[in-house]
Structure 1
């Protein structure tokens, strides 16, 4: 009989890295060239970095495309001293790959993700699904649930949204986000900014800013016009940063949470 672990199979290295074997078939491409093709990826979490990355057995990597880095980016990854430049089609991506010093990860090569830092393979796939920005954390959930709670949003004392048909998005380690139908929002008080961000769990977001008041951070609201299937119910709805607006749920004012976004929002005002 096959048995499975009931707890996270995470290992710790002396350098403070966390890692565990992955079960997904992962490929990374630069343009049309496959740089890595592995059914034995390893997920690695670096200290104080909230998202994981992948490291791969050397035999699953096109090492003929790697060159010893001309300007090694020492200090950018935990304990790493060996970096590689990636050369594909005559174009060189500096410090696109590296090795970790941990004995547990000997024989593995990690890669940057172009969508996150602007270098490295620019297309990544888990099985046949393209993924973006960084690997999905297998210990993180993102659930989008339709609700009948009454949600009101105020910005600088002005009522901007009032709905009884929100979609609540629950994402591990982040506050609940309240996605609201546009029909229930004073969209005339907002304007699109052209700003976009990517999320491996939700897709590509577009943003809106507040028309009145310099004290309100720009890009205060966002929407996913074409979300990934797992969070399909948020399609086209708008959400606001709980950290910078006043949200009331069923008559109860919500405290403004402190999150990794709080500092960036305060610096925008």
Structure 2
């Protein structure tokens, strides 16, 4: 059952918007629920699947270790990466966060987002997500999304 309202990614704003999400969010790695929240945030941007962020207190202690490298988002600022480890599994650079995001995204400070592809499973409500196409973006694709999602070959420079 799809408990999420229908949304078209082409209707999402640019610049992106941040909002609270009412659904439960979960991340599973190595058979262990490493993140579970009902207080998550999501970022919506035109042609992107939503990116979901967990408050740090809703991520299991000790499962994330700082990873090498960083990146820069034109909207949110400098991101740092995290390696996830649980249930005997290790996933390098599987999560990211913004320590000091830009002012419009200040509420993301310290929150953590996870790539869904390297995890056992990620959920929005009862819906298991698929990764946003491509190797760079971290959006979570749910069955309620319509429209063309950026990330597949030929969409890199939209």
Normalised by the length of structure 2, the TM-score is 0.69
1:75-119 CA distances to partner (integer Å, 9 max, x unpaired)? Answer: xxxxxxxxxxxxxxxxxxxxxxxxxxxxxxxxxxxxxxxxxxxxx
Provide the alpha-carbon RMSD of the alignment.
Answer: 2.4
Whether 1:208 aligns to 2:82 is: yes
Q: Please say if residues 146 and 233 of structure 1, whose CA atoms lie closer than 8 Å, have aligned partners that are also in contact.
A: no
Unaligned runs of 5+ in 2: 1-12, 138-151, 153-158
Q: Is the 8 A contact 2:35 2:59 kept in 1?
A: yes
Aligned partner of 1:247 among 111, 115, 122 = 122
Which of 237, 243, 252 is the matching residue for 2:111?
A: 237
Higher relative contact order (CA 8 A, sep 6+): 2
Whichever of the two has the greater Rg, that structure is 1
**Alignment gaps of 5+ in structure 1:** 1-138, 264-269
User: Whole-Å Cα distance in 1 between the matches of residues 136 and 87 of structure 2?
Assistant: 20
Q: Distance in 2 between matches of 1:173 and 1:199?
A: 16
Higher helix residue share: 1
Is the contact between residue 244 and residue 256 of structure 1 (CA under 8 Å) also seen in structure 2? no
Does residue 193 of the first structure (1) align with residue 95 of the second (2)? no
TM-score (norm 1): 0.42
Report the number of matched residues: 125
